[in-house]
């Protein structure tokens, strides 16, 4: 472990009653350099956190407080585990008070406010803050995150797609940019802790379906980042599906190798690209990653396949949608922003079985 | 099969958007003597039934209509698949029009209106109708159901407990009436199609808990019937639990054999008692009934155990909570009330695996 | 219903201890024109069928018998619910005795024996019988199946892919044959009733993975039929995945529309193509098929999507892998081969929830 | 945290390929005072541990070695995560070499060798070692475990029953010893990582059943400890059930309060009894413990209920069968045996959702 700083940083969470909120609590309450000082909930003001989440009994001794009462400006960093629209409304005040902001919703993900407004149906409240914010996939933007005051923590699906494809960009063209297919599958916790009939166990268990085929909000996010990485518009097809399980995300990515790039050793390319990364595991050739191999851990695993050694490159990516896909990645961002070891508080081993 | 009547009976369903409603539809749409004529839903007036339940596409060609529009008085029988309080408000009108009533809720289960009002917190709207109603466990009340105009379809838990214990009553005393323990477990569909956070897949899957320990509404129902069967007050402990699965109910019943009854052959007692019953299966000695062995069928299976041939009698009972525990039993009641073969429209074989 | 023939046909099942076997039993024991006369199992000779499958207690009164004892030659038709290699060893004898054969394994699926031998690692025992056999997707080969003595019942995956794509062939070219991607997902019952650690609940529940990426045995079967339908070699990518649930199969098919075919109304094309089919349901535009909507029924549902009305055609197909994907389709074939109504014994409504 | 000893202790695991083995690895690889030096498997000699358990990739850099090659005598402590019979065969040699032994199987659980031989069908190999061994429920035997060379780690069911009942013993008689009923439910990982058809996902998911009703091996273990705690023979009924989920154990315990003890405050009794315990949580009055509230953590939670304030005392106990019920408790024992803080390496927060 690393030597701890003189004193831990003060951390606040806005909107702690959802799944990303409780996951932040699970990991932050064990973080060596963090002191949880406030957690807000408009609806649960005064309720003990451990009363709502018995899994935290004896570990988190805080009560929810209304946003008004919470002294967020005295924090060193505030996580927003809220629906979109909340973080951008409070970011300016917090920044002015010297508080860093990590938003787990969409307010600081899309750089293009027009795209944001088209998909989220509200005007962006602080384009200037958005302009300085950094898109928080650590493995892509490490240097700028370390200097950032505001980070837009990426969506769960985009994390798998961007880390699954990024080794293919930056050098000579390798794949056909006109046709990339992402067939993605997510555990239902990704839908959040909302009372919806379609997410009842009696509806969603023992069942599988696609959703958002006409257009999922993570698509423009993936599109914007892919276009940037590729340096050109990418023809992306993105179809998410819902898995009858709680945690775990799996993306099956289909790309066509360019004729001139058929000779490339893609296994080696990926291994070289991610060598030294603490949370990205390029599995040996022929591996079949399983979502359970990352359950409740911050690790993302990738396997590269090329059936018949042909032109179709198939990239399999697994992560825990609540950890590397949300809370874990947010803490990884925090570690960078405060100069902590990148793995601090993130050493959980996956739960298996 | 039986010869069909000149023409099928006209059947209406009030409240068809819940799980007992769609289960009634699944079974009634294949019933040889039934014509579904109306199904009501205040909230979904005009929506095609098959739009809400795609499993019925091509099988049920009806739309939901508001209770006002539905011509229920022209039906031969109306099923109430509603919360308690609805059936008792409409029963008189329907009976006056010569329509028979089968309520799948609690309005006609408890004979004692004071007990009803204590547990359901509303006054009973028609004690006189209640007085003529019959408690609809066919195997217990076959004769009176055949003559009934109003049937109170039993709760799912009570069906397992009453059919599990009834062979022990009626003759010489066999078990200690002061201490009967029922440890019951139910699939989550028993909780109904209501948007509640605690029933989300992400909350209820991979999880097990007890509930209603302080008092479940099925307890007074079991108590009233047990006291009646035993001819004396029974000391009943009833603890329900929630299983991380959709369908299936399992009751583990613990009774103490009286010293003078230790010599009784309980396996034979149960087999004799239920010989000839189409929907109650007393399994061979030593059997371990599984909920999947009755999945989606109207069969209830019972196994009798007596560890070490001692004084503790353990009765294991399984059923599908939505079929024998609700919709199937309601149709079994209808068959009797209209002189159809008891098994008409109920010949579904359990789904396995 | 249809008027029953003078007497039911005599049906035998070889290998009745697996999931397709018990599913055949569930459906055949209720079939109006069938009498089950023998069911074989080398390992379980003498055991009551209902002892192994309690779901059949009171419904199937047969015992397993060894292949030697079973008088299969006195049957009208024999189903093989066995591993590959068994049916082809017995087909000649049965045909000579006037018994029709329906193989649920792979012996009569692949027309090219070289391909069969490459993938199944054994020589084909009866190429001449293979030559007269018919590939049993009723909606594709209805006429020839009606005249067939031997039917190769298709694999579960191929059924979804072929029925999902066939409306696109036969007329003017519509899609790019060089690049069709099938991302398929199956419930674990498709893996059969074999004791394997990787299929234990503790391993496979709460988990998702791809498998057979390097090459699944259903690929050559799909390939052969697709090439035939397209009249040209098709560039097919097929990646199967394993769902943490028992039943249900979902194929997400990605095809690129040819420039000259961008104006076609694919929704109408599919609806016209399947109009009148009893077991193929083309859902309304914008529908999201769910596997539970066909659970335990012989229906296959298809939805057509075209995000942004672009060049990518996305076809979503669901079926129950054990019914339309196996036992149900086999019975549908039998109905044709014996002149029964195609829906006889197959009217099960999907179980929901 | 505690200051680490000069150097970590050397730990060996015999039989590391099962669920308790991989769970020991998950927790020991993060333990601050432990160095894993060898892990044996006769069948997997030479295979990388992380190849069999990808969840450990990058965390456990060991290969399985055959028992012969493993230098277990150079360890400070050896855990046996094996079937019964293995530990007792090697214990003498290890003890002679100064190695402490913690057996997760049954060899050192039952003090009475006759009972052991009756239930496990083999003679006990080392009664003298058994005589000095300690039954490893820390909260019951803390002092003797701290001095022990050999610990018999308790069964998962016994842990819940003994910790659920122990506050009731030791003072004035409170409950009727003639009739205690334990209705227990376990996730399927308790059955181990064995290829058995009955534990396939397609068999055990969506299903619930009782098992071992005639006699489960954990019954004599519970009986022996209960008799000891009560100082008299206890009339125990123990019925285990199998839950359709991976992890989690729930025991519902029914006891009859003696007339003279009806006035006791049982909530306070339990709270006082377990005050200060790190891993036993007595929940507030009226609580409903859920298995997920302890998932993957070493905490055991208890809730006390007394419906209608009557004579029936109902004790609800939850734990993770693989942690407090197995590997976690074994490490808790190790911590005591080596003078480490009892919570060292056991601070995992439960995974929720």
pLDDT, tens only, C331-344: 999 999 999 999 99
pLDDT tens across D257-306, in order?
A: 999 999 999 999 999 999 999 999 999 999 999 999 999 999 999 999 99
Determine the Cα–Cα distance for residues A327 and A104; give it in Å rounded to an integer: 8
Give catalytic residues of D, as residue numbers: 156
For residue D11, the 8-state DSSP code is: E
Residue C326 confidence (pLDDT) above 90 = yes
Chain A closest-CA separation from residue C317 CA (Å):
10
Q: Are residues B187 and B301 in the same domain?
A: yes
CA of D321 vs chain A CAs: smallest distance (Å): 12
CB contacts < 8 Å between B and D, how many? 122
Hey, is the C-beta of B350 within 8 angstroms of any chain D C-beta? no
CB-facing half-sphere around the CA of B15: CA atoms within 13 A: 20
Same structural domain, A204 and A80: no
Q: Same structural domain for residues C308 and C164?
A: yes
Q: Check B316 against D213: CB less than 8 A apart.
A: yes
CB contact under 8 A, A193 and B188: no
Among the partner-chain residues C30, C54, C297, the one whose CB lies closest to the CB of B347 is: C30
Distance from CA of B53 to the nearest CA of A (A): 11
Q: Are residues A102 and A163 in the same domain?
A: no
Whether the Cβ atoms of residue A27 and residue A79 lie closer than 8 Å to each other: no
Quote the minimal CA–CA distance from B309 to chain C in Å: 24
- Looking at residues A90-107, what average pLDDT do you find? 98
Q: Which chain B residue has its CA at the smallest distance from D294's CA? A: B207
pLDDT digits (tens, 9 = 90+) for D214-227: 999 999 999 999 99
**Domain end among C68, C97, C132:** C132
Domain of B178? 158-321
Inspect the interface and report whether the beta carbons of B201 and A200 lie closer than 8 Å: yes
Three-class secondary structure of residue B128 per DSSP: helix
Separation in Å, CA of A246 to nearest CA in chain C:
7
Q: Give percent of chain B with pLDDT exceeding 90.
A: 95
Could you give the C-alpha distances from C344 to A102, B25, C14, D209, in angstroms and in order? 61, 21, 22, 35
Confidence band for A217, pLDDT divided at 50, 70 and 90: very high
Selecting from D22, D30, D349 the residue whose C-beta is nearest the C-beta of A55 gives D349
Which residue of D lies nearest to B307 if distances are taken between CA atoms? Answer: D214
Mean pLDDT of the region B316-325: 98
Identify the band that residue A305 occupies on the pLDDT scale cut at 50, 70 and 90. very high
Give A78's strand partners: A12, A101
Identify which of D191, D197, D246 has the shortest CB distance to residue C205: D246
DSSP one-letter code for C200? B
Is the pLDDT reported for residue C209 higher than 80? yes
B12 has a chain C CB within 8 A of its CB: no
Catalytic residue numbers of C read 156
Q: Does residue A141 belong to any structural domain of this protein?
A: no
CA distance B81 to B87: 9
Report yes or no on D332 lying in a domain.
Answer: no
Residue D145 lies in a domain: no
Q: Would you state the pLDDT for residue D155? A: 97
Q: Which of residues 193-252 of C touch A (CB under 8 A)?
A: 202-203, 205-211, 213-215, 237, 239, 241, 243-248, 250, 252
Residues B328 and B299: their CA atoms lie apart, in Å, by: 9
- pLDDT recorded at residue D216: 94
- What are B329-353's pLDDT values in tens digits? 999 999 999 999 999 999 999 999 9
Count of pairs with CB atoms under 8 A, one residue in A, one in B: 62
- Give the gyration radius of chain B's Cα atoms: 20
Q: Based on the fold, state whether residues C284 and C247 are members of the same structural domain.
A: yes
Closest chain B residue to the Cα of C18, Cα to Cα: B353
Question: D222 and D127 share a domain?
Answer: no
In CATH, what number is assigned to the domain containing residue C95? Answer: 3.40.50.720
**pTM of the predicted model as reported, rounded to 2 decimal places:** 0.97
Residue A64 shares a structural domain with residue A197: no
Decide if B291 and D256 are in contact by the 8 Å CB cutoff. no
Report the alpha-carbon distance of residue A321 to residue A113 in Å, rounded. Answer: 26
Per-residue b/e over A287-305, b at no fewer than 16 CB within 10 Å? bbbbbbbbbbbbbbbbbbb
B292 shares a domain with B172? yes
Q: How far is A54 from chain D (nearest CA, A)?
A: 6
ipTM of this model?
0.96
Assigned domain for C147 exists: no
The pLDDT score that the predictor gives to residue C2 is 43
Local confidence band at C1 (pLDDT 50, 70, 90 cut-offs): very low
C282-315: pLDDT as tens digits? 999 999 999 999 999 999 999 999 999 999 999 9
Find chain D residues with C-beta within 8 A of A350's C-beta: 26, 55-56
DSSP labels, D40-85: E-STTTT-BHHHH-GGGTTT---B-B-TTTS-GGGSSEEEE-S-TT
Task: For residue B156, indicate whether it is catalytic.
Answer: yes
pLDDT at B57 over 90: yes
Nearest CA in chain C to B290: C54
Residues A185, A315 share a domain = yes
C301, C289 contact by CB (below 8 A)? yes
pLDDT at A209: 98
Establish if C336 belongs to a structural domain: no
Closest approach of D219 to chain A, Cα-based (Å):
26
Among chain B residues, CA nearest to C189 = B353
Q: What is the 3-state secondary structure (H, E, C) of chain B?
A: CCCCCCCCEEEEEECCCCHHHHHHHHHHCCCCCEEEEEEECCCCCCCEHHHHCHHHCCCCCCECECCCCCCHHHCCEEEECCCCCCHHHHHHHHHHCCCEEEECCCCCCCCCHHHHHHHHCCCCCCHHHHHHCEECCHHHHHHHHHHCCEEECCCHHHHHHHHHHHHHCCCCCCECCCCEEEEEEECHHHHCCCCCHHHEHHHHCCCCEECCCCCCCHHHHHHHHHHHHHCCCCCEEEEEEECCCCCCEEEEEEEEECHHHCCCCHHHHHHHHHCCCCCEEECCCCCCCEHHHHCCCCCEEEEEECHHHCCEEEEEEEECCCHHHHHHHHHHHHHHHCCCCCCCCCCCCCCCC
% of chain A with per-residue pLDDT over 70: 98
> Is residue B150 in a domain?
no
Nearest neighbour of C201 by CB, restricted to D194, D195, D246:
D246
Q: How many CB pairs under 8 A join A and D?
A: 90
C240-285 pLDDT tens trace: 999 999 999 999 999 999 999 999 999 999 999 999 999 999 999 9
The answer to whether C30 contacts B349, with C-beta atoms less than 8 Å apart, is yes
Number of B:C CB contacts under 8 A? 90
Which chain A residues are closer than 8 Å to D351 by Cβ? 26, 55, 295-296, 351
* B42 interface with A at CB cutoff 8 Å: no
Tell me whether residues D250 and B292 touch, CB distance under 8 A: no
Spatial separation of the C-alpha atoms in residues A113 and D104, rounded to whole Å: 59
B90 neighbors B15 (Cβ within 8 angstroms): no
Does B306 lie in the same domain as B175?
yes
Residue B297 predicted with pLDDT over 90 = yes
Same domain assignment for residues C82 and C183: no
How much is the pLDDT for B6? 63
Q: Do the Cβ atoms of B293 and C54 come within 8 Å?
A: yes
Mean pLDDT (chain A) is: 96
Q: Of B187, B193, B202, which has the smallest distance from its Cβ to A197's Cβ?
A: B193
Note whether D121 contacts C: Cβ–Cβ < 8 A.
Answer: no
Return the partners of chain C (3 or more C-beta pairs < 8 Å).
A, B, D
Residues D115 and D215 in one domain: no
Q: How far is CA B135 from CA B140, B153, B163, B215, in A?
A: 9, 6, 13, 21
**Which positions in chain B touch C246 (Cβ < 8 Å)?**
353
Task: With CB atoms and an 8 Å threshold, state whether D352 touches A247.
Answer: no
CATH number at residue B311: 3.30.360.10
Q: How far is D71 from chain B (nearest CA, A)?
A: 39
Are residues B56 and C247, on separate chains, in Cβ contact within 8 Å?
Answer: no
Structural domain includes residue D298:
yes
Contact C29 B281 (CB under 8 A): no
CB-CB: which of D57, D292, D349 is closest to A29? D349
The string of pLDDT tens digits covering residues C12-51 is 999 989 999 999 999 999 999 999 999 999 889 999 999 9
What is the reported pLDDT for C68?
A: 84
Contact A201 B246 (CB under 8 A): yes
Pick from B243, B254, B286: CB nearest D208: B243
Q: Is residue B60 part of a domain?
A: yes
* Backbone phi, psi, residue B180, to 5°: -115, 125
A209/C289 CB distance under 8 A: yes
Distance, in Å, from the CA atom of A238 to the CA atom of C307, rounded to the nearest integer, reads 9
**Residues from chain B contacting residue A202 (CB–CB below 8 Å):** 19, 187-189, 191, 193, 199, 246
B287, B303 contact by CB (below 8 A)? yes
Collect all residues of chain D within an 8 Å Cβ-Cβ radius of residue A322.
353
Q: Which among B54, B58, B289 is the nearest to C290, CB-wise?
A: B54
Last residue in a domain, options B132, B167, B202: B132
Asked if residues D204 and D191 have their Cβ atoms less than 8 Å apart, the reply is: no
Under an 8 A CB cutoff, do C208 and A181 touch?
Answer: no
Tally the domains of chain A: 2
Residue in chain D nearest C322 by alpha carbon: D202
Q: How close, in Å, is residue B271 to chain C by CA atoms?
A: 14
- Mutating which of D208, D212, D311 best tests the B interface, going by the most B Cβ atoms within 10 A? D208
Residue B149: pLDDT over 80: yes
CB C100 within 8 A of CB C337: yes
Q: What are C107-162's pLDDT values in tens digits? A: 999 999 999 999 999 999 999 999 999 999 999 999 999 999 999 999 999 999 99
């Amino acid at each position: 472990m690393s030597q701890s700083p003189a004193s831990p940083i003060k951390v606040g969470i806005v909107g702690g009653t959802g799944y990303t909120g409780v996951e932040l609590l699970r990991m932050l309450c064990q973080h060596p350099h963090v002191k949880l000082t406030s957690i807000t909930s408009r609806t649960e003001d005064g309720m003990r956190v451990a009363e709502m989440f018995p899994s935290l009994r004896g570990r988190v001794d805080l009560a929810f407080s209304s946003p008004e009462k919470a002294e967020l400006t005295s924090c060193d960093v505030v996580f927003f585990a809220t629906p979109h629209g909340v973080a951008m409304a409070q970011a300016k005040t917090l920044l002015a008070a010297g508080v860093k902001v990590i938003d787990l919703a969409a307010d600081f993900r899309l750089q293009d406010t027009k795209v944001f407004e088209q998909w989220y149906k509200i005007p962006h409240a602080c384009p200037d803050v958005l302009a300085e914010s950094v898109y928080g996939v650590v493995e892509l933007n490490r240097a700028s995150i370390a200097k950032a005051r505001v980070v837009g923590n990426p969506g769960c699906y985009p994390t798998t797609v961007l880390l699954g494809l990024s080794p293919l960009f930056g050098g000579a063209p390798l794949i056909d940019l006109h046709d990339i297919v992402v067939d993605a599958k997510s555990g239902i916790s990704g839908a959040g802790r909302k009372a919806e009939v379609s997410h009842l166990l009696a509806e969603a268990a023992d069942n599988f379906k696609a959703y958002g085929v006409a257009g999922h909000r993570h698509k423009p996010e993936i599109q914007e980042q892919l276009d940037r990485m590729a340096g050109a518009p990418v023809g992306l097809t993105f179809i998410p599906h819902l898995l009858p399980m709680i945690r775990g995300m799996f993306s099956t990515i289909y790309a066509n190798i360019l004729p001139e790039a058929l000779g490339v050793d893609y296994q080696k390319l990926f291994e070289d690209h991610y060598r030294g990364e603490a949370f990205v595991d390029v599995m040996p050739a022929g591996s079949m990653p399983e979502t359970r191999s990352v359950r409740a851990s911050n690790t993302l695993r990738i396997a590269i396949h090329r059936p018949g050694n042909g032109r179709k490159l198939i990239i399999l990516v697994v992560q825990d949608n609540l950890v590397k896909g949300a809370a874990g990645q947010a803490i990884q961002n925090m570690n960078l922003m405060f100069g902590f070891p990148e793995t601090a508080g993130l050493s959980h081993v996956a739960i298996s079985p």
